[in-house]
């Protein structure tokens, strides 16, 4: 059902706007904070159904980029379309077609898992008759049927993340954005989030954009990726080509270090660190 709807939706947008069928396209997207270019002239496109990774050390501009694409932040310069709609001129149309899992905890601990999803269903205008089956489907898909009626504050970090993904997929978005989806999770919980994401793409043909600074995550999930460095795209391509471009035995860590010109953890401001630790603390 979801498959069919997504296809129909996709086609009608393509016809309506005459755009090439890319789920995300950016043209010189730029965001300045004062004199700092947090995101500096980035251009890339993501085909429908792909999993695309934005990589970079803390402070490279990943979160700023994702905030622009999810309409939370207006670009200072440049444009972008998501699901065929301009992120500034048609922000509401974009919002109807995207799901977003922010880096920080976004499930409400004082509500049950079911109530969290129910709020989303209502905000996204899912008709009353469809709400319950959709919520149950999403909960089942994410393996959260059993704890659905428990308060989220009793959930483990991995369960919360899966609930947030369930919440973001409830309205069957064309594009799903995940900002650092597995930061602060233990290896088992990370793997279970990855498996769900891969299955989400398989079952619902969702396009997924994730940001991460974990190379194993990018290797596992992404069809293609862009490495951000000081707000600019330092390299872009599929993981195999990127590795080959650095050396015969290079892994993604080498690619990352090569293009971001330094070690992985050396950058980032106090604020980034605080944010990441807080998130990790809450999830863990």
Residue 158 C-alpha from the chain's centroid:
16
Does 30 bind other proteins (CB under 8 A)? Our answer is no
Does 2 bind other proteins (CB under 8 A)? Our answer is yes
SS3 152: helix
Q: Minimal CA–CA distance to 113: which of 75, 58, 150, 159?
A: 150
Q: Which of 18, 34, 128, 240 binds other proteins (CB under 8 A)?
A: 128
User: Cβ closer to other proteins: 167 or 260?
Assistant: 167
Q: Which of 62, 171, 190, 229 binds other proteins (CB under 8 A)?
A: 171
Q: Which of 26, 37, 58, 103 binds other proteins (CB under 8 A)?
A: 103
Q: What is the arrangement of strands in the sheet containing 22-33, beginning at the earlier edge strand? A: 36-47, 22-33, 77-82, 85-86
Number of residues that bind other proteins (CB under 8 A): 43
User: Cβ closer to other proteins: 9 or 254?
Assistant: 9
Other C-beta atoms within 10 Å of 126: how many?
19
User: Cβ closer to other proteins: 120 or 224?
Assistant: 120
Distance between CA 71 and CA 132 in Å, rounded? 28
Does 278 bind other proteins (CB under 8 A)? Our answer is yes
Distance between CA 60 and CA 122 in Å, rounded? 35
Does 182 bind other proteins (CB under 8 A)? Our answer is no
Stretch that binds other proteins, among 47-55, 119-127, 226-234, 253-261 (CB under 8 A): 119-127
The token pair that represents 18 in the structure block:
């005459």
Does 93 bind other proteins (CB under 8 A)? Our answer is yes
Distance between CA 67 and CA 78 in Å, rounded? 14
Residues 132-161 that bind other proteins (CB under 8 A): none
Stretch that binds other proteins, among 41-49, 99-107, 142-150, 182-190 (CB under 8 A): 99-107
Residues 52-71 that bind other proteins (CB under 8 A): 67, 70-71
State the minimum distance, in angstroms, from the CB of residue 274 to other proteins. 10
State the minimum distance, in angstroms, from the CB of residue 108 to other proteins. 6
Rg, Å, the chain Cα set? 18
State the minimum distance, in angstroms, from the CB of residue 95 to other proteins. 4
Q: Which long-range contacts (CB under 8 A, 24 or more apart) does 5-14 make?
A: 5/172, 6/172, 6/174, 6/204, 6/205, 6/206, 7/205, 9/97, 9/174, 10/48, 10/83, 10/174, 13/83, 13/84, 13/85, 14/84
Distance between CA 277 and CA 86 in Å, rounded? 34
Residues lying near other proteins in the complex (CB under 8 A) are found at: 1-2, 5-6, 8-9, 67, 70-73, 92-93, 95-98, 100, 102-106, 108, 110-111, 115, 119-120, 122-125, 127-130, 167, 171-172, 174, 278, 282
């Amino acid at each position: 059902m979801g498959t069919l709807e997504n296809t129909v939706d996709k086609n009608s947008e393509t016809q309506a706007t005459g755009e090439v069928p890319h789920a995300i396209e950016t043209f010189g997207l730029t965001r300045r904070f004062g004199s700092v270019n947090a995101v500096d002239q980035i251009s890339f496109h993501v085909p429908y159904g792909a999993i695309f990774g934005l990589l970079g050390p803390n402070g490279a501009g990943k979160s700023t980029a994702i905030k622009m694409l999810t309409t939370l932040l207006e670009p200072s310069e440049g444009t972008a379309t998501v699901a065929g709609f301009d992120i500034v001129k048609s922000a509401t149309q974009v919002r109807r077609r995207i799901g977003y899992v922010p880096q920080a905890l976004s499930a409400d601990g004082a509500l049950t898992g079911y109530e969290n999803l129910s709020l989303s269903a209502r905000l996204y205008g899912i008709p009353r008759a469809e709400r319950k089956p959709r919520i149950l489907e999403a909960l089942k898909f994410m393996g959260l049927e059993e704890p659905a009626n428990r308060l989220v504050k009793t959930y483990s970090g991995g369960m919360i993340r899966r609930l947030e993904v369930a919440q973001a997929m409830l309205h069957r978005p064309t594009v799903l954005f995940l900002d650092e989806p597995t930061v602060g999770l233990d290896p088992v919980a990370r793997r279970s989030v990855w498996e769900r994401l891969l299955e989400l793409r398989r079952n619902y043909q969702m396009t997924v954009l994730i940001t991460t600074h974990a190379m194993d995550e990018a290797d596992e999930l992404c069809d293609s990726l862009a490495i951000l460095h000081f707000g600019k795209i330092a390299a872009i391509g599929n993981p195999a080509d990127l590795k080959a471009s650095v050396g015969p035995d290079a892994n993604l860590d080498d690619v990352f270090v090569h293009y971001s010109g330094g070690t992985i953890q050396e950058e980032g401001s106090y604020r980034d660190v605080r944010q990441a630790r807080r998130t990790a603390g809450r999830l863990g």
